[in-house]
Amino acid sequence: MKKIGVLYGRENTFPGALVAKINELGAGNFEAESVSIGAITMEQLYDYRVIIDRISQDVPFYRAVLKHAVMQGVNVINNPFWWTADDKFFNYALAHKIGVAIPKTALLPHKQHPPDINSQSLRNLLYPLNFDEIFEYIGFPAFLKPYSGGGWKHVYKVHSREEFFSAYDQTGDLCMTLQANVEFTDYFRCYVIGKKNIHIMRYDPRLPHERRYVLDGPPLDPAMQDRLTSDCLKICNALGYDMNTVEFAVQDGIPYAIDFLNPAPDADYHSVGPENFAWIVNAMAELAIEEAGKKVSKPKDYRWSKFL
């Protein structure tokens, strides 16, 4: 019996449904369960062929365990080595390089020194920063948001220099980006599973969280569907994520990718709705079974790049 584990946090609907679906589809050959972890040793071995990770971004202990599991030959979705190294600014620059439309974005120094850092630690940092040059490049309105983060935390829409500096003063020692605003007429959130299966959902980030998924929107134009599908595949194959959402804001017919570091994406029944929930549960179950059926492959040499 090949075992698949699900590691999760405060989620109440998706993990149990995923375990049940894997056990239904893989009856007799694959068995899924919630992962149970205590203290581990360097020699620890794991019973799982696959672990689906939904929480290690918030729990360093879990992240360390999963990296160790990869070294022992477990397939972890998503790969903890890549997720550890990734950030949104790199995402934007990479997507731009491979031909995906990205709003103009600039990376900014911390407003306040990080802990145990002082001015002597930053002697290579230009000061004062030429903000006028940045404002001319980005334009207003714009979004000030963390270079890596999620949940719309610490995100500010600014319409002028004054609003920018007022918001920037509130960011403390967070590293931030400034990104050009997209006046969107349509917005999509796309599940991408296994770097090949895509489910496009209309979405409105201006609404309360529980109402953001548009469940009764108009049919999707075929040309837009093709463009969204192509861009999703480009992004997730370049980044190596097997579970992700990619968000697009559409302006003048162009879908701008504005968020695609979501490798533990929202999959709650009560927010995504019955149809979207059923799709993500089934797609993840099929991917987990597919990966668990592959031959276990341990690295032949222990270099970081071999774990990606």
Kindly report, residue by residue over 14-63, the tens digit of the pLDDT.
Answer: 999 999 999 999 998 999 999 999 999 999 999 999 999 999 999 999 99
119 — pLDDT class (breaks 50, 70, 90)? confident
Mean local confidence (pLDDT), 86-110: 96
pLDDT at 193 > cutoff 80: yes
Q: Please list the residues that pair with 2 across neighbouring strands.
A: 30
| Contact present, 13 and 277 (Cβ < 8 Å) | yes
Mean local confidence (pLDDT), 146-150: 84
Query: What are the strands of the beta sheet with 176-180, ordered from one edge?
Result: 105-108, 176-180, 142-146, 156-158
Residues in CB range of 191: below 8 A, 6 or more apart? 197, 198, 199, 201, 244, 245, 265, 276, 279, 280, 283
Residues in CB range of 141: below 8 A, 6 or more apart? 157, 158, 159, 181
pLDDT reported for residue 3: 97
302 — pLDDT class (breaks 50, 70, 90)? confident
* Digit-coded pLDDT (tens) for 69-81: 999 999 999 999 9
Query: What are the strands of the beta sheet with 197-202, ordered from one edge?
Result: 197-202, 186-193, 243-251, 254-259
pLDDT reported for residue 84: 86
Phi, psi of 89 (to 5 degrees): -65, -40
> Which residue is associated with the tokens 């397939």?
75
The rounded distance, in Å, linking the Cα atoms of 81 and 154 is 26
Mean local confidence (pLDDT), 165-191: 96
Residue 106, both tokens: 């600039």
The rounded distance, in Å, linking the Cα atoms of 141 and 123 is 32
pLDDT at 107 > cutoff 80: yes
* Digit-coded pLDDT (tens) for 229-250: 999 999 999 999 999 999 999 9
- Weakest-pLDDT range from 197-206, 221-230, 280-289, 294-303: 294-303
pLDDT at 301 > cutoff 80: no
102 — pLDDT class (breaks 50, 70, 90)? very high
Contacts 24+ apart (CB under 8 A), 252-255: 253/224, 254/101, 255/101, 255/188, 255/224, 255/227, 255/228, 255/231
> Which residue is associated with the tokens 């992700």?
244
